[in-house]
Amino acid sequence: MHKHIRAFTGIRAVALWGVILYHLYPHVVRGGYLGVVVFFVLSGYLLMRQFLDKPTEPIHKFIDRYKRLTPPLLFVVAVTTFFAAVFFRDDFSAVFASGLAALFGVNNWQQILHGFSYFDLHGRFLPFTHMWALSAQMQFYLVWAILQKRFGKKKPAFVLSLAVMLIVSFLLMMGMTPFHEDHTRIYYGTDTRFFSFAMGALFAVLGKQGIFRKPQRDKSLHVLALTAVTLLLFFFFVEGKFLYYGGMFLFTLLICFLLVFVAKDDNAAARAFDTPLLRYFGSRSYELYLWQYPLMLLFQQFFAHHAISYTMVVLLQLPVLLLAAEGTYRLFRAPKRKKLVPALLLVFLLSSGAGFLLPESPAAEADPVQTEEAHAEGDVPQGVSAVNAEWPALALTEADLETLSEMRGLMIGDSITEMVAPYVEDLMPRMTVNGKVNRQLVHAKDVLSEYDLENLDTDVPVVYQLGTNSDFHSDTLKDLLDRTGDRPIYLINTAMPDPWEASVNEKFAEAAKRPNVHLIDWYSIAKEREDIFIEDHTHPKGIGRNLFAQMVAKALLAGETDAE
């Protein structure tokens, strides 16, 4: 039997924290999700080492692996489903379906069929999004078992079958990418991700051959290892379509090379990954991975309307994550863990039953001045009076409404703008409003080019409501402002539970130092008002939409007064 490779545990820890940091700070660690590639490669590598050392009956081995991995998974699913049944009634059905799919090892395909995106991290309470990777890996194990059953007695044929599937998988990824603007199908697909698992297995074979069997004292190999680590770290901070056109393949190749290099345990790279802290996190990587995403969403939801920094929210959740993971690790590594499974199933079933039987969260009673019917009737003064009563600083008079009815301007934004467009147009019928779901600030210059600004008066304002879907570079904002020219520009900051909220708002505040740029402070008005948002804590509802429109109108009026 091969000895345990201690450096692999450290590499698993680094991959884990890449994924965790991506979940927490997707606008910074943009490629951290590639940590799951490391998990896939490690699984393939270790399976092949076991096979080469002592082949076992593959189907029985697959069943044993499923039995070993499922109890901690069931524990997390049962507890999280209970929280969903109690606190997140509106999303319970989706949570239950996703959790059940995770238990059966098909979570990735369930998300593909329902159009859930791993890269749309804000919005509904979907705590099992990250479990796509566990399901994909379980499916890889099943494919391995089938191939071993068919070709296992002839090792060259078995290795060749893996090589063929590797090539097919990678070609599928490249071939499908041009036809999928949303990469969810490609990213989640078992067929398009199998090549990482297969490459890990093939490199385990190479690891027993030639140069890789010799002591790793050659300086050129150390340089290559350092280069591989540097490139791997680079990948953790980048993203883009190139990952699907060979970038992910290259990342997998680098990981494979690193594995065969550190497997000898006789070089500096292996020792660097074999530290007590990395060993600790690596040994508990499964439990940490299971708990991190649900806990992150719980904290984001519970602190969505508290004016404390996102970093503080992260610091609060990390000790809880460590305790939950350690407790789960100790609970299910005990010899009697099998006795816990019936109890966990009971918790899951009771939570599910309660979730389906209890009534959904009551919808807020519709105020006549806040409904779409009120807009259809054009009864704008009633909506204005409701906002005037609760937010006197934003109050509009009849004279203000008359001025607004003649005001021209352009408003460009994302789904929030699309949602409040009827409300803005009620107040300012001559305002051109252009909102689109998932729009980012980087897209704004293309939208701006659709309008002939040169033929508009220089005093016609342009309003930008962006930053909801992603952070951006300061240079991108500067370029947009330069393209807009010297006319009055209004930037609406954000109020949302996402990690880039503070970064976006800071950039807008800095940009507002320009003499023609003004900040509309939605954050200060709305951040602590949970009652004016839908369940995603980002998009306004009811009177919140009236409020948003009136906030914009009031700012434009103030700007016009200042200009006079």
pLDDT at 334 over 90: no
pLDDT at 562 over 70: no
- pLDDT per position as a tens digit, 123-148: 678 999 999 999 999 999 999 999 99
Q: What is the pLDDT of residue 374?
A: 43
Number of other residues whose CB lies within 10 A of the CB of residue 447: 18
- Per-residue pLDDT, averaged over 381-403, amounts to 89
This prediction has a pTM of: 0.84
% of the chain beyond a pLDDT of 70: 85
Q: Which residues contact 131 (CB under 8 A, 6 or more apart)?
A: 73, 98, 102, 107, 290
- Indicate the pLDDT class of residue 66, thresholds 50, 70 and 90: very high
Q: What is the pLDDT of residue 376?
A: 42
Q: What is the pLDDT of residue 365?
A: 40
Number of other residues whose CB lies within 10 A of the CB of residue 470: 21
- Indicate the pLDDT class of residue 373, thresholds 50, 70 and 90: very low
- Indicate the pLDDT class of residue 548, thresholds 50, 70 and 90: very high
Q: What is the pLDDT of residue 221?
A: 61
pLDDT greater at residue 298 or residue 212 = 298
- Per-residue pLDDT, averaged over 393-411, amounts to 92
List domains and CATH numbers for the chain. 6-356 (no CATH), 372-563 (3.40.50.1110)
Q: 410 φ, ψ to 5°?
A: -130, 130
- Rounded CA-CA distance 324/331 in Å is 10
Pick the range with the lowest mean pLDDT from 100-104, 357-361, 511-515, 553-557.
357-361
Q: Which three-class secondary structure state does DSSP give residue 29?
A: coil
- Per-residue pLDDT, averaged over 346-373, amounts to 54
Q: What is the pLDDT of residue 307?
A: 80
Q: How far is CA 506 from CA 435, 483, 512, in A?
A: 23, 21, 10
Q: Which three-class secondary structure state does DSSP give residue 520?
A: strand
- Per-residue pLDDT, averaged over 488-502, amounts to 93
pLDDT at 339 over 70: no
Q: What is the pLDDT of residue 215?
A: 58
pLDDT at 369 over 50: no
pLDDT greater at residue 451 or residue 222 = 451
- pLDDT per position as a tens digit, 228-267: 676 677 777 777 778 889 889 989 998 998 898 888 777 7
- pLDDT per position as a tens digit, 85-109: 888 888 888 899 999 999 999 999 9
Strand bridging mode 517-520 / 409-413? unpaired
pLDDT greater at residue 303 or residue 197 = 197
pLDDT at 509 over 50: yes
Q: What is the pLDDT of residue 550?
A: 95
- pLDDT per position as a tens digit, 516-540: 999 999 999 999 899 999 888 899 9
Q: What is the pLDDT of residue 372?
A: 43
pLDDT at 564 over 70: no
Q: How far is CA 321 from CA 98, 280, 327, 392, in A?
A: 21, 14, 10, 43
- Rounded CA-CA distance 276/274 in Å is 7
Q: How far is CA 454 from CA 96, 250, 326, 459, in A?
A: 54, 47, 63, 12
Tokens of 435: 């909102």
CA neighbor of 142 nearest in space, from 199, 184, 104, 112: 104
**Tokens 């609760």 sit on residue:** 390
- Indicate the pLDDT class of residue 375, thresholds 50, 70 and 90: very low
**Percent helix / strand / coil, the chain, rounded to 5:** 70, 5, 30
- Indicate the pLDDT class of residue 482, thresholds 50, 70 and 90: very high
- pLDDT per position as a tens digit, 256-302: 988 988 887 777 778 888 899 999 999 999 999 999 999 999 998 88
Tokens of 423: 């409300």
- Indicate the pLDDT class of residue 514, thresholds 50, 70 and 90: very high
- Per-residue pLDDT, averaged over 455-480, amounts to 88
pLDDT at 164 over 70: yes
Tokens of 485: 């020219």
Q: Which residues contact 154 (CB under 8 A, 6 or more apart)?
A: none
- Indicate the pLDDT class of residue 498, thresholds 50, 70 and 90: confident
What integer best gives the mean pLDDT of the chain? 86
- Per-residue pLDDT, averaged over 9-30, amounts to 92
pLDDT at 29 over 50: yes
Q: What is the pLDDT of residue 499?
A: 87
- Per-residue pLDDT, averaged over 460-485, amounts to 92
pLDDT at 546 over 90: yes
- Per-residue pLDDT, averaged over 107-113, amounts to 94
- Rounded CA-CA distance 458/488 in Å is 8
Task: Annotate 80-102 with DSSP letters as a single string.
Answer: HHHHHHHH-GGGHHHHHHHHHHH
